Amino acid sequence: MDFTDFHDWVYRQFKINLNAYKPEQLNRRIGSLMSRIGVTSLEDYKRILSVDKEQREKFLDFITINVTEFFRNPELFLELQDILKEYSKNNFSLKIWSAACSIGCEPYSIAMIIKEIAPNIRANIIATDIDSNILKRAEKGEYLPVEMKNVSEFYKSKYFNKVNDRFLIDNKIRAMVTFKKHDLIVDSYEDGFDLIVCRNVIIYFKNEVKQEIFKKFSNSLKKDGLLFVGATESIYNYKEFNLEKVSTFIYKRV
């Protein structure tokens, strides 16, 4: 079995399209997982994933790249806050999508910002990820101190409850976010969004897949709706997607 066959098997088994990822980087990650448990062939690894739930969950978690933190790149979130503050003046409600949300730091960060800049506005934040297990953790809203490094003391005291060594997100913030499973590659997209946030994920995809995702994001935005991408994910051909640049990593649908 070669990597192409293995990718096809993963799609049949888990409905994850590994062919959308940059192959060199992805296959190195798979090889690293195999070496950790002393497996040398993809055929053997496939058999293990078929019967071993723990290894299967480790594989899915590792492949779907669950790396996140609150207010990742804080200076960019400050820019988003200023832009959203102005945007929200002309809106009575906000429909927001946090795509590839991992353990929930990103959608909760956005919810806290909205509570501060527009406390009376009705915000519906849909947070999605491909990993069902990680979504369960996100729904709990429970975080270790190391995961809180960018959270100010003001936000900690106002929007978290400290229980032993954990920080629990406040219920009024949790109620603003709905978590759903979604695959950016194969699933359909909702529309009518005021803001879509998808950061530090698209960088792992092949260029043609990136372009298709940007097109779908644009089509999912309202006119003047905002797209916020990661600090390494500038969209150089943004005009092709009916977007204009508002800030370095924030775009507006025109």
Single out the residue of 155, 187, 147, 189 nearest to residue 173, CA to CA.
155
User: Does the predicted TM-score (pTM) go above 0.75?
Assistant: yes
C-beta pairs of 206-215 under 8 Å, 24+ apart in sequence: 206/20, 206/21, 206/22, 209/20, 209/185, 211/237, 213/184, 213/185, 214/238, 214/241, 214/243, 215/241
Under a CB-based contact definition with an 8 Å cutoff, are residues 216 and 243 in contact? no
Q: How far apart, in whole angstroms, are the C-alpha atoms of residue 148 and residue 44?
A: 39
3-state SS, residue 242:
coil
What pLDDT does 65 receive?
64
What pLDDT was estimated at residue 67? 63
Q: For residues 186 and 156, is the Cβ–Cβ distance under 8 A?
A: no
Among the CATH numbers 3.40.50.300, 3.40.50.720, 3.40.50.150, 1.10.3720.10, which is that of 74-253?
3.40.50.150
List per-block mean pLDDT (blocks of 10 residues) for the chain, which spans 254 residues. 89 82 85 91 93 86 74 93 93 95 95 95 95 91 91 95 94 97 94 95 89 97 96 91 95 97
What are the boundaries of each domain within the chain? 3-63, 74-253
User: Cα–Cα distance between 87 and 104 in angstroms, integer?
Assistant: 24
pLDDT in the model for residue 54: 87
185 DSSP assignment: T
